A = this chain, B = another copy of it.
């Protein structure tokens, strides 16, 4: 018997393969992800996976894009937990959602921000729609603040000309993206990413009663540094 009857086929196998991949990534980490191990768990043979993904890298890319979408969704929810105009609360909402997602799915975070799979090269263009979704909430709130004339900017410097093409990609994707908004958003993102990634690696002690004190101090300091009043 080579091809099983429809009744014995796994329905929606493409999704099931991804779910199994996530399960294994959670267990053994992204770098040790194995197509054959996925196949074993699903009781199919490894080449069967090639009917759904042209190679292992394509599977990884699909996982990354799904992760970005979920990551972005959490941040949109975090932002909208406070109404328009509540700049500080909306910004904090994004930061907290960002951190919560990373702590809920540490392997997904490292899949996105590490280079975890041997030989895998990040297909920036393919992933861009999903990755821009995950940065959009931050961009949008900083832009809200700027339009309300509440954005504090010290020492802004414009973008280098050589980098304009990549910058253009962002701008078209966002509709528009003011350079100052971009500048401040990058400062904020880097601070949140820095503390979250060090936390995930166990490099940061758990300050405060619930272990969140350092992160909250980071967020609070950004609010007073970048938002007027």
Copies in the complex: 2
Tell me the complex Cα distance, A182–B29, Å.
Answer: 30
Report if A205-B166 is in contact (Cβ < 8 Å); known contacts: A114-B114, A218-B187, A220-B155. yes
A interface residues, how many (CB within 8 angstroms)? 57
A124 at the interface (CB under 8 A from B): yes
Tell me the complex Cα distance, A170–B98, Å.
Answer: 28
Tell me the complex Cα distance, A195–B216, Å.
Answer: 19
A191 and B189 within 8 A (CB): no
Tell me the complex Cα distance, A66–B168, Å.
Answer: 40
A61 at the interface (CB under 8 A from B): no
A204 and B220 within 8 A (CB): no
A42 at the interface (CB under 8 A from B): no
B119 and A115 within 8 A (CB): no
Q: Which of A62-113 contact B (CB under 8 A)?
A: 110, 113
Name the segment of A12-20, A51-59, A139-147, A157-165 touching the other chain: A157-165
User: Can you list 17 pairs linking A and B with CB atoms under 8 Å apart?
Assistant: A28-B119, A32-B119, A110-B115, A114-B114, A114-B115, A155-B216, A157-B207, A157-B217, A158-B207, A159-B206, A160-B206, A160-B211, A167-B205, A183-B207, A187-B214, A190-B214, A194-B194
Closest CB pairs A-B (n = 5): A194-B194, A157-B213, A157-B208, A190-B194, A190-B195
